[in-house]
Amino acid sequence: MRDNRFATVAMATAMATATLVITGSGLGTVLSAVASAEAEASAKVAQVPQVRTPQGVLVEPLGASGEAVYPAFEGWGPIKDGSSVLLVGYFNRNRDQSIDVPIGLDNRIEPGGPDFGQPTHFHPGRQYGVFAISVPKDFGTKRLTWMLTANGQTTSVTFWTNPPYWIDFFKNTANGNEPPRIKFAEAGPEYIGPPRERFVQTLSGVVGQPVTLTAWAADQPPTNESEAAPPGGAAAREPAAPRPPAANEPPGAIIGGRLFAGGLGAAGGGGGAAAARERAGDFRVLWKKYRGPGEVKIADEIIALENGHDAKKFVEAKTTATFSAPGTYWLRAQVNDSSGNGGGGDQCCWTTAHVVVNVK
């Protein structure tokens, strides 16, 4: 979408310049026409989001610790009940430092906050679409701002139902891909796409004793197989040939006040072992700490699943979590298909849900 807009502007300017070369007469009139066309083109560019070359926080090497954490607005779009959600993630620029920031002055969303279900535990690197904020149909031009202070550095992002940031969370029209589905009881409700509910399950546990985490997941592979390489296949072993952007390519996330249209790995470009594990299976269930007062040790953070490309077949994924201190914890369960973290930059297709564990 962005490329098409800028191509139109460039074409208008090029056509006006070509007229100057071809006519060779009436230069004053033609120069005036060119200037007018260029002014019109500049005005059009000013009306759409500017795609800047990533700078500063986006391309500098991650620090080991002591760096900021940047909220990231992924985009917004409709959900199945006709309302819309704002999808939000973050970029923790600390390679070796997970950070806890309680809800309050240093971690708040306003107006109407401070708690809109945002995380209080921030894993290293880029974390895509970790929570969503439901907004009514008449939300209009209202805006929300997430302000976050970590390591003494305050960052923020403002988000609203900005038309250029519209996303179809449930279908990638370029390849027919749809998000995986997840449920937390074999006969329980299915969840798909952004996390619309604050949490979908409540468990209990005791400090130092493993708590069983069980989910069932299913996935429909892309209908256009040429657009998506199956995990573990030839395309997973060799660099994929670049493909032109889809006509409905979504905008990049807003991070640190800049529009970023590239992909940042979940670990900020590192995590080769984790990436290798993700290539196994048809799709994967990932578990991570989201909120809570103590350490959480998850036995298998990434669980690779296979369903023989049968979209109706749910596969069980089971692991355990052990907690170091009493309190209320939130865990994030995310299901990725072959498009990987962040949908490979398309914001589709993955599914996220939150589970609460009360630990004594």
Q: Determine, yes or no, domain membership for 140.
A: no
Q: Provide the pLDDT for residue 222.
A: 72
Average pLDDT over residues 51-56: 40
Q: Does residue 91 carry a pLDDT above 90?
A: yes
Average pLDDT over residues 59-78: 86
- Which of 277, 280, 100, 87 is CA-nearest to residue 193? 87
Tell me whether strands 315-323 and 121-122 are parallel, antiparallel or unpaired. unpaired
Q: Provide the pLDDT for residue 258.
A: 52
Q: What are φ and ψ of residue 278, in 5° steps?
A: -65, -20
Average pLDDT over residues 341-357: 82
Q: Are 53 and 138 in contact (CB under 8 A)?
A: no
Q: Exposure string (b/e) for 2-25, b if CB count within 10 Å is 16 or more?
A: beebeeebeeeeeebeeeeeeeee
Residue 262: exposure state from Cβ atoms within 10 A (0-12, 13-18, ≥19): exposed
Q: Are 119 and 146 in contact (CB under 8 A)?
A: no
Q: Provide the pLDDT for residue 295.
A: 97
Q: What is the value of pTM for the model shown? A: 0.72
Q: Does residue 57 carry a pLDDT above 50?
A: yes
Percent of all residues in the chain with a pLDDT value above 70, rounded to a whole number: 65
Q: Determine, yes or no, domain membership for 313.
A: no
Q: How far apart are CA 24 and CA 27, in angstroms?
A: 7
Q: Exposure string (b/e) for 120-149, b if CB count within 10 Å is 16 or more?
A: bbbbbbbbbbbbbbbbeeebeeeebebbbb
Q: Determine, yes or no, domain membership for 28.
A: yes
Q: Provide the pLDDT for residue 114.
A: 97
Rg of the chain over all Cα atoms, to the nearest angstrom: 23
Q: Does residue 31 carry a pLDDT above 60?
A: no
What letter does residue 269 receive in the DSSP assignment?
A: T
User: Average model confidence (pLDDT) for the chain?
Assistant: 75
Full residue range of the structural domain in which residue 9 is found? 2-47
Q: Determine, yes or no, domain membership for 321.
A: no
Please state at what angle helix 2-23 crosses helix 27-47, rounded to 10 degrees: 180
Helix (H, G, I), strand (E, B) or coil at 319: strand
Q: Provide the pLDDT for residue 173.
A: 77
Residue 154: exposure state from Cβ atoms within 10 A (0-12, 13-18, ≥19): exposed
Domain count, the chain: 1
Q: Determine, yes or no, domain membership for 111.
A: no
Band of residue 164 on the pLDDT scale cut at 50, 70, 90:
confident
Q: Does residue 11 carry a pLDDT above 50?
A: no
- Residue type at 334 in one-letter notation: Q
Q: Tell which wins on pLDDT, 136 or 52.
A: 136
**Residues 285-310: pLDDT tens digits?**
999 999 999 999 999 999 999 888 88
Q: Determine, yes or no, domain membership for 238.
A: no
Q: Determine, yes or no, domain membership for 164.
A: no
**Residues 215-229: pLDDT tens digits?**
999 988 776 654 444
Q: Determine, yes or no, domain membership for 343.
A: no
